[in-house]
A and B are shown apart, each in its own frame.
Chain A
Amino acid sequence: MKKQFKMVDLDCANCAAKMEEAVRKIPGVQSVTISFLTQKMTIEADEDQFEQIMKQAVKACKKVDADCQIQL
């Protein structure tokens, strides 16, 4: 399943790259791109555990920059 989420207050480009890297490592994530410019995350992951994966993704992003919020 492929979904797009808005990322509010994504302030630094390097953080976006780090978040992308961190989310990619979550098991079950097939592909992910975080665009600093459009402030969006496009994620493709297994459908049956999507919610679980998104929870982990939020956690992983929080670790990189706690100010940035993913709108689920």
Chain B
Amino acid sequence: MSRKQKKTLYRILASGILLVVAFLAPVEGWERFGLFLILYILVGWDVLWKAARNIFYGQVFDENFLMSVATLGAFAIGEYPEGVAVMLFYQVGELFQSVAVGRSRKSISALMDIRPDYANIQKDGQLVQVDPEQIKVGEEIWVKAGEKVPLDGVVLEGSSFLDTAALTGESVPRRAEPGTQLISGCVNQTGLLRVQVTKTFGESTVSKILDLVENSSSKKAKAEHFITKFAKYYTPAVVYGALALAVLPPLILGEGWSQWIHRALIFLVISCPCALVISVPLSFFGGIGGASKQGVLVKGGNYLEALAQAGVMVFDKTGTLTKGEFQVTAVHPNNVDSQRLLELAALAESYSSHPISRSLKEAYGKTPDSNRVSQVEELAGKGIRAVVDKQLVWVGNDKLMEEQKVQWHPCHKVGTTVHVAVDGVYMGHILISDQPKPDAAEAVQALKNLGIRKTVMLTGDSKAVGEHVAQELGLDEVHTQLLPGDKVEQVERLLKEKSPKEKLVFVGDGVNDAPVLSRADIGIAMGALGSDAAIEAADIVLMDDQPSKIAVAIEVSKKTLRIVKQNIVFALGVKGLVLLLGAFGMANMWEAVFADVGVSVIAILNASRALRT
């Protein structure tokens, strides 16, 4: 509780006790009036003051003003204790509300507590702390155990484990060694690291993420717009209703004034739409905070809202559903042992830096001895020819084998096949393919369980590879051999085919699918760890590239919307009911105060559930 809040609390406690005393005090007439008036001023002077000031500015439908009118009205018709009590409970509710909002705000900012306060640099042989904003690209910083990495950079010296939980929700620490790219916002757990800075503070991952989350509340959901609009009409409507209630029945029916004024005052107490105006944005704010705790950054309440209606999910293949890196997945030797086949391939490819050569060398496991290799010739689009241990070795694709008239056979598995021949004799082939991410199949299944009607994969890859992956992961539709422009066309077609209520989500790695990301109703990008393009183009960013996090995001979105609906129905229901009862003289001021601040507090508490996922 802040100091201001504490002061209010003491004032409320003191006036509460005094109210009981005054209620029991044996005083009558003017003395009683005076006693309660003093109490009233003690409880509500700030509300009265604000009301007076705001009226001066022409704010008729100001909550302070309405509350003042309601309570002063109670005084006017002789209900002194009620006037004081209503003001008192209004203050209690306001205090509660401000504490609850403060608390949720704090827990969300604690989630985002990744902003580094300082960076260590070496000066005259000693480490000194400086503002990270002053560090330039290329400078060296030191990150001690337990400290946050302040800027993006590359490790020059030292090794350690990094806790990336605040960024990705991933609890398993990552290893950092010389050469590792470091992302700001991670926490260095064990060793001392010397780091060369690669990005200024403003460009660093941590600044980008903080910006994004802080700005997310400026992109409002439809539900928020509805509430603001509603609030604009609600208060005047209720106030005019109160006025009519106070004046018309006594004039028409000729009944007593005080009874109808009392009913009108009840209206005024309920006239503030606070519960809704606070709780709906708070729910979205909490939902966004909760999602970021799981490593999912949502750029606005509108996207979180739309995600709950996702019906069609379109995926890019490479880097999104698959790892995007080539690996040897099968070795099929012909009359030699498989290690020999790998050795031949690795040796012949030892001078190449093509991704396929790299994966061959990786599978071989040892560093190929390049002294055994000579006369290497790369044959563009076909493969490589080299002399290994005085034998002529051909490593390449089907075309190369055809050309060299080698007796080869195709592989029964899907992927890129690398054939090996020595002196015209076929040695077998090695299959290289891009593997699906470990959680990809599970992610597709989870999305279907969450009500995604159709899953589609778009890829530039060959028909065989694309269809194989789609089948393995259980996708409904697959389109292969697409150029970037074709992907946009496919998405356009899917947008036309879906029902207008559904949303189309495109999930890509953000590298070259920016046009598709922006064309889809919601664009989700992978590869935020390092890729600025992804953060820029997408509406939702998965920090750890795991497709299964999409399901998590949808769950958060659905939960948030449930809470928003509950709050709207609950707040409007209670207010409507008390208004109705009040008009017929069956509700009292107490119920009205509950319908105002009580409902607010309950709605705020409910909204803060959105934060917990």
**Chain A residues near B (Cβ < 8 Å):** 11-14, 17, 20-21, 33, 35-38, 40, 42, 62-67
The verdict on B310 contacting chain A, using a C-beta distance below 8 Å, is no
Measured between C-beta atoms, what is the minimum distance from B209 to chain A in Å? 15
The tally of residues in B whose CB lies under 8 Å from a CB in A reads: 28
Given contact pairs A33-B220, A35-B218, A42-B215, A13 touches B281 in the complex (Cβ within 8 A): yes
14 pairs, CB–CB < 8 Å, chain A vs chain B: A12-B63, A14-B63, A17-B231, A17-B277, A33-B218, A35-B218, A36-B101, A37-B101, A37-B217, A37-B282, A64-B54, A64-B59, A65-B54, A67-B50
Within 8 A of A (CB), among B38-63: 50, 53-54, 57-59, 63
User: In the complex the two chains form, is A63's CB within 8 Å of B59's CB?
Assistant: yes
Alpha-carbon distance between A11 and B59 when the two chains are bound, in angstroms: 16
Measured between C-beta atoms, what is the minimum distance from B94 to chain A in Å? 8
The verdict on B232 contacting chain A, using a C-beta distance below 8 Å, is yes
List, in ascending order, chain A residues with CB within 8 A of B278's CB: 13, 36
User: In the complex the two chains form, is B217's CB within 8 Å of A12's CB?
Assistant: no
User: In the complex the two chains form, is B277's CB within 8 Å of A13's CB?
Assistant: yes
The chain B residue sitting closest to A33, CB to CB, is: B218
Alpha-carbon distance between A20 and B224 when the two chains are bound, in angstroms: 13
- What 5 A-B pairs come out closest when comparing CB atoms? A33-B218, A13-B278, A35-B217, A13-B277, A63-B57
The chain B residue sitting closest to A63, CB to CB, is: B57
List, in ascending order, chain A residues with CB within 8 A of B63's CB: 12, 14
**Chain B residues near A (Cβ < 8 Å):** 50, 53-54, 57-59, 63, 98, 101, 104-105, 108, 214-215, 217-218, 220, 228, 231-232, 272-274, 277-278, 281-282, 285
User: In the complex the two chains form, is A14's CB within 8 Å of B231's CB?
Assistant: yes
User: In the complex the two chains form, is B59's CB within 8 Å of A35's CB?
Assistant: no
Alpha-carbon distance between A24 and B105 when the two chains are bound, in angstroms: 26
List, in ascending order, chain A residues with CB within 8 A of B57's CB: 62-64, 66
The chain A residue sitting closest to B229, CB to CB, is: A17
List, in ascending order, chain B residues with CB within 8 A of A65's CB: 50, 54
User: In the complex the two chains form, is B232's CB within 8 Å of A21's CB?
Assistant: yes
The chain A residue sitting closest to B600, CB to CB, is: A13
User: In the complex the two chains form, is A11's CB within 8 Å of B214's CB?
Assistant: no
List, in ascending order, chain B residues with CB within 8 A of A64's CB: 54, 57, 59
Given contact pairs A17-B231, A21-B232, A37 touches B214 in the complex (Cβ within 8 A): no
Alpha-carbon distance between A66 and B50 when the two chains are bound, in angstroms: 8
The chain B residue sitting closest to A34, CB to CB, is: B218
Given contact pairs A21-B232, A64-B59, A12 touches B274 in the complex (Cβ within 8 A): yes
Alpha-carbon distance between A38 and B59 when the two chains are bound, in angstroms: 25
Alpha-carbon distance between A62 and B59 when the two chains are bound, in angstroms: 11
List, in ascending order, chain A residues with CB within 8 A of B228's CB: 17, 20-21
List, in ascending order, chain B residues with CB within 8 A of A67's CB: 50
Alpha-carbon distance between A35 and B278 when the two chains are bound, in angstroms: 10
User: In the complex the two chains form, is B273's CB within 8 Å of A14's CB?
Assistant: yes
User: In the complex the two chains form, is A40's CB within 8 Å of B214's CB?
Assistant: yes
User: In the complex the two chains form, is B272's CB within 8 Å of A14's CB?
Assistant: yes
Q: Which of B53, B104, B218, B285 has the most CB of A within 10 A?
A: B218
List, in ascending order, chain B residues with CB within 8 A of A66's CB: 50, 53-54, 57
List, in ascending order, chain A residues with CB within 8 A of B217's CB: 33, 35, 37-38
Which of A12, A36, A40, A63 is in CB contact (< 8 Å) with B281? A36
User: In the complex the two chains form, is A37's CB within 8 Å of B281's CB?
Assistant: yes
List, in ascending order, chain B residues with CB within 8 A of A14's CB: 63, 231, 272-274, 277
